[in-house]
Amino acid sequence: MALVKTFTAYELQETFRNMDRDYYSIPGYQAILDLFEETDCGENTELDVIAICCDFTEEDPEYIVDNYDNIDEIADCKDEDGEIDTDKLMEALNYRTWAVELSNGNILYQNF
């Protein structure tokens, strides 16, 4: 017999927290839920906390640009004043992987 549970972002956070893997904000957890809902084709998806943590990262745009500056498209998102063009950054990330800008200003992206 299979047990099925539908999560809210807060319940998902609690599940991750119970496994010492509370790596995301509430908007991040909601984006993860939305992604799985969009891609599950109506099928139930088994929750694999470790796989999600290995596959997805949430960071602020500054961190992403500073740590992926070896990728030209991402390095070019920061101007000489240090300002980040978030639209350009999202375009560069989505060219390489899946990424979504969150309501808290962070970006959730699939690791690449």
Q: Give the pLDDT confidence score for residue 112 in this predicted structure.
A: 86
The pLDDT value recorded for residue 1 is: 60
- Residues in the chain predicted with pLDDT less than 50, given as ranges, are none
**Is the CB of residue 24 less than 8 Å from the CB of residue 102?**
no
- Its pTM stands at 0.90
Check if the beta carbon of residue 88 is closer than 8 Å to that of residue 78. Answer: no
What is the Cα–Cα distance from 101 to 112, expressed in whole angstroms? Answer: 17
Closest of 96, 36, 43 to residue 72, by C-alpha: 96
Domain range list for the chain: 22-39+48-110
Contacts of 107 (CB under 8 A, 6+ apart): 58, 59, 60, 61, 64, 89, 90, 93, 99, 100, 101
